[in-house]
Amino acid sequence: MNRRVVVTGIGVISSIGTGKDDFWNALIQGKSGISRISSFDTSAYPTHNGGEIRDFDALRFISKDRAAVMGRASCLAVSAAKLAFEDSGIVVADIDRQACGVTIGTTMGESQVLEKVNEAWVRHGQDRIPSDMVARCPCNVIPSNVALEFGLGGPNFIIPTACAAGNYCIGYAVDLIMRGSAEIMLAGGVDAFSRIAFTGFNRLLAVAPEKCQPFDKNRKGMMVGEAAGILLLEPLESALKRKANIYAEVLGYGLSCDAQHMTAPQAEGMAMAMSNALKETGLKPEDIDYINAHGTGTPANDKAECSAIKQVFGEHSKKVCVSSTKSMLGHTMGAASGIEAAACCLSIKHDIMPPTINYETPDPECDIDCVPNICRRQPVNIALNNASAFGGNNASVIFGKYGE
């Protein structure tokens, strides 16, 4: 269990860019991926904006025949995995594919497929539901499709711990590599834009009418988005042997459950996840340079997260930089912490902290340094990635700059 695990490949499909370079450049420029929803009619809804990926073409990455039998979430995941492999410099044909696994997190799974099944049922009856469509519905098909695309015979899991799922997957993948159960892991999260999620969050009155403003006094809610964020993880010794580009080392992670309410976030649970991560890594609060916050932009979440940061970091909470990339991407559900993990690794690699855009009015209850509106160029040696989810699931992952 003393193997060191590093990130050597990053695959991102997002509303602000495809591929890690376009994604990162847009992120540090503060580009917004929020636009008018086009995938379905929102006229009956109180809000109309979201973080849809406008330019995604699955055929850039996947054969027409394979894309035809996969839902959008699987297409996004396979495409991001392909980008992660390419970025890592690993040629799939040259590796032991039985020792390469996949663990992907999601909130909604293949919700767009389920929506089509439901529509066919309502309009035409159950006998008219295409049988091949039913096989695309279960959420476990997402990592299975990734494995099938590359012929990967290693551990294969879907972890559906909602909006914290990507961090859970990264932590679990690290454990598998450390114990020798895998040599390479693709880990992260994915969700396609979901009418079900959009409807649900609107009914909860949690969606902002125009823009997402994390930590702003006048924040009005989150934005539903879609994305895929996949990291390629491998042991340090193999990365050094092949002279790979190392973005960051995964130092450890912490998990917790609020065990109090299904939808209302609790500061104590968030704090416990961060404390557990620090305990596992042996780090002190003052060692953390940057926190990529869960930062949804809802009044309750941002208040609770800031309270949790103060509980854990004490006086250092006034110095540590905390930004929310959801201000640009919206909440990409199960993809969120996978995408944000990629942002942490790139922050460490480039010593730049992404901004929290749309920040206008300070909130005394969120009196943190949220890197408002403009990215910040300063050393990032250690970054903490926070994620929380319905059900009270919390996961924090700590990444560090690789050093001997």
Residue type, 177: I
Catalytic residue among 331, 344, 366, 370: 331
Angle, helices 267-281/299-313, rounded to nearest 10 degrees: 40
3-state secondary structure of 201: helix
350 labelled catalytic: no
294 labelled catalytic: yes
Q: In whole angstroms, give the CA distance from residue 32 to residue 311.
A: 31
Instruction: Retrieve residue 163's tokens.
Output: 């909006």
Neighbours of 284 (CB within 10 A): 10
Catalytic residue among 75, 100, 139, 163: 163
316 labelled catalytic: no
Query: Do residues 224 and 372 touch, judged by C-beta distance below 8 A?
Result: no
Token look-up 């092949």 returns 242
User: In sequence order, what DSSP letters do the residues of 225-282 get, joined into one string?
Assistant: B-EEEEEEEEEHHHHHHTTPPP-EEEEEEEEEE--S-SSS--HHHHHHHHHHHHHHHT
Query: Do residues 211 and 218 touch, judged by C-beta distance below 8 A?
Result: no
Q: In whole angstroms, give the CA distance from residue 155 to residue 166.
A: 16
Q: Which helix (H) or strand (E) is 365 found in, with range?
A: none
Q: In whole angstroms, give the CA distance from residue 165 to residue 163.
A: 6
Angle, helices 336-350/20-28, rounded to nearest 10 degrees: 80
Query: Do residues 202 and 47 touch, judged by C-beta distance below 8 A?
Result: yes
Query: Do residues 321 and 371 touch, judged by C-beta distance below 8 A?
Result: yes
Strand ranges, E, within 93-161: 100-105, 156-159
Distance of CA 59 to the CA centre of its chain: 23
Count of residues in the chain: 404
229: which strand partners? 12, 189
Catalytic residue among 294, 344, 345, 370: 294
Give the HSE-up count for residue 136: Cα atoms under 13 Å, Cβ half-sphere. 23
- Among residues 72, 62, 170, the alpha carbon closest in space to that of 114 is found at 72
Residue type, 136: R
Hey, which residues are catalytic here? 163, 294, 331
